[in-house]
Structure 1
């Protein structure tokens, strides 16, 4: 498999991971808890980065938006910032990849396109690390409260968006790493080839050598002139 096909596969992998991460932002049930009665579940509590909701047994949902930025917990604020950074870096990474891939005719020379492609891969790697940190921070908060015996309020468990987000973050990191390795290796080899200026077997004659050559030529001309006399 050549470098162009590997580059396309890496781009598809990292772009799919970025889409999965973006899809988790509006999904509910980042954390959830069930209030069980004697026979059936009476209510379900769930929350994400933007709202906290309560759904009763009849299916009626009552939500409260987490609109205040400064009034929220620190891990919520950190997760929001990290997720926004991931989405932004993935968007710019897709634009840089459009200019840096070999299958496109824009972006300049091969060396320039390789550098742009490395930047695109770096955007996806950093974005994947940001989203991975956000999901891990959110899950760590849930785990710390769940296993805290002194915490008497409602305790939550992991929701499906966390697992989807972890998978998407891993795809972003893996795809971006492959993208950087392919283009970094090719750009380095191209620089080594173009930096070669010539062979080392040619030796520039110095002044003594030039003087000896002129004397030899003058003697050879005199010899040719008197050869048939």
Structure 2
């Protein structure tokens, strides 16, 4: 029961992390910057993996999609590929987890279900690593430009999407590791139980009669201790 509860907790963690990672990809505020006036903010610049926008003080936004994928900066292309890979790995990991968990009735035997669930946990770990790498690479580009005194263009700060992506990556990695460890413990216990199983108390006596080169195995049934007390009468200790 404890192993099943651990699988359920790990599944909740990994699924929640995958949802956060999936919501990060289309979010607007990957990086944000503001131009302040004398009284109120006059304009807010923000950008993500797909477009760059500016919002004025009246709430009107003007956006410009990135014109060409091949003309983009290399770090944006890498972040796109890593985030899409993270979402795909998490999707297949959630399907394999539903098939391999003990609380479901599909997937075959316990050994096959354990292998499927272990594979799903490995997928979630890879998904978390991909999204973590993408968010960290994007954040490193922002911070390097912000603290570079020779960079004269518009400087940005870290957006909310990066923090949500980091949180989702941590949940995917944590849940995937817990899922893999719980299943590996269950497999080791089952194998050790089969290896050291008790064989019903049966005893074997081998004898080598004359003229026979191979021993003859004689199986004796286990002793019956239930009738032992009936073999002693009142003169047993005289």
One fold, TM greater than 0.5? yes
Aligned to 1:63: 63
Q: Distance in 2 between matches of 1:151 and 1:197?
A: 71
Aligned to 1:30: 30
2:165 aligned with 1:168:
no
Aligned to 2:222: none
Aligned to 2:231: none
CA contact 1:135–1:165 (8 Å) conserved in 2: yes
Aligned to 1:193: 193
Change (3 A) 1:197 1:62: same
Shift of 1:192: 3.2
Q: Distance in 1 between matches of 2:9 and 2:3?
A: 10
Equivalent residue runs for 1:81-92 within 5 Å: 81-92=81-92
CA contact 1:50–1:67 (8 Å) conserved in 2: no
Q: Distance in 1 between matches of 2:119 and 2:106?
A: 16
TM-score by length of 1: 0.86
Aligned to 1:43: 43
Q: Distance in 1 between matches of 2:203 and 2:30?
A: 69
TM-score by length of 2: 0.83
Aligned to 1:12: 12
**Where has structure 1 moved over 3 Å in runs of 4 or more?**
192-211
SS at match of 2:173: helix
Aligned to 2:131: 131
Q: Distance in 1 between matches of 2:85 and 2:156?
A: 26
Change (3 A) 1:203 1:76: farther
Q: Distance in 2 between matches of 1:140 and 1:56?
A: 27
1:90-123 per-position Cα deviation (integer Å, ceiling 9, x unaligned):
0000110111000011111111111111001000
Change (3 A) 1:198 1:209: farther
- Structure that is richer in helix per residue: 1
Shift of 1:66: 1.8
SS at match of 1:174: helix
Shift of 1:188: 2.3
Shift of 1:201: 7.0
SS at match of 1:69: coil
Q: Distance in 1 between matches of 2:109 and 2:195?
A: 15
